[in-house]
Amino acid sequence: MTLDGGRAQVSLSSTSAAVVLFVLGMLACGVYLVGFHRGRTLGRAEGFQTVRRMGEDEIAQARRAAVDPRLTEGLTVPQRPPVPATGSGVPGEATGPADPVWPGPPSPGPASTSTIPAGAVSWVRGNNYVVVQSFKPGALDDAVTVQDYLARHDIGTQIVSKADGGFWVITTQGFNLDDAAQKPLADALQQRIRSVGAVFRSAGGRYDFQTCFLMKLKSDTW
């Protein structure tokens, strides 16, 4: 550096001048980058705020807009009719929906209609009658079925209760086996019952009457 007439003159070499220009260029680039980054950050924040305000405005408009009834058709739940309240209306008395009334225990099913058919049978003490079939307790329906089937074949019978709770189906025609003429009649009836029983069993019945036998009545009734 030299003084020329009171002015300072700075002379730089080409290398020094290049360094100075490089430093000035770097400073200018730094200032530009700082300004660009700041402007970009501010612009992004402003953009977010703008988008947010637009979204809020659209939501508010949608809430204020009337709903098209076609969009909600079929989605509404029908209102149940109000349940009448109990109570007499006296102040202090609790009111509310009526309590369901317990219908009580279920009624029993219809009882079995099978009963021992009543009939005026003239039982004769000392006579022998054909016991067609013996039934266990609780098999009254089977006994009635057998009795009806035999009746269709003109064989009259009566259902008789046994001491153990079971039943017998016994013919109403008796035989005095002391009379030699009646013994073949008793045998013929037994054979006929066995033949009818074989048909009954082949048709799907549960019994075949093959074990039918003669039993003597020792009192006025069974």
Domain boundaries, the chain: 11-64, 128-216
- Cβ neighbours of 157 (radius 10 Å): 27
CA distance 222 to 220: 7
47-63 per-position pLDDT tens digit: 657 656 766 666 666 56
pLDDT for 88 equals 44
- C-alpha distances out from residue 183 to 157, 173, 186, Å: 19, 13, 5
Distance of CA 46 to the CA centre of its chain: 62
- Alpha-carbon distances, residue 52 vs 24, 35, 42, 60 (angstroms): 42, 26, 15, 12
User: pLDDT tens across 3-42, in order?
Assistant: 555 555 556 567 777 777 777 878 777 777 776 666 666 6
Decide: 195 and 206 in contact? Cβ < 8 Å.
no
More confident: 100 or 86: 86
* Among 5-14, 90-99, 154-163, the range of highest mean pLDDT: 154-163
Length of the chain: 222
What is the predicted pLDDT for the residue at 123?
95
Q: Which CATH architecture has domain 128-216?
A: 2-Layer Sandwich (3.30)
Question: 206 vs 79, which has greater pLDDT?
Answer: 206
User: Tokens in use for 107?
Assistant: 């009624």
Q: Is the pLDDT of residue 145 over 90?
A: yes
15: its two tokens: 């290398």
According to DSSP, residue 178 is labeled: T
pLDDT in tens, 172-185: 999 999 999 999 99
Q: How far is CA 153 from the centre of its chain?
A: 49
Residue 138, pLDDT > 70, answer yes
Residue 191 pLDDT exceeds 80: yes
Distances (CA, A) of 161 to 23, 218, 222: 133, 16, 8
Q: What is the pLDDT of residue 148?
A: 97
| C-alpha span between 128 and 171 (Å, rounded) | 10
Q: Does the CA dihedral 164-162-189-145 come out positive or negative? A: negative
Residue 166 clears pLDDT 80, i.e. is over it: yes
Residue identified by tokens 């989605």 is: 75
Helical axes 140-151 vs 183-202, angle rounded to 10°: 110
DSSP string for 138-200: T-HHHHHHHHHHHHTTT--EEEEE-TTS-EEEEEEEEE-TTSTTTHHHHHHHHHHHHHHHHHH
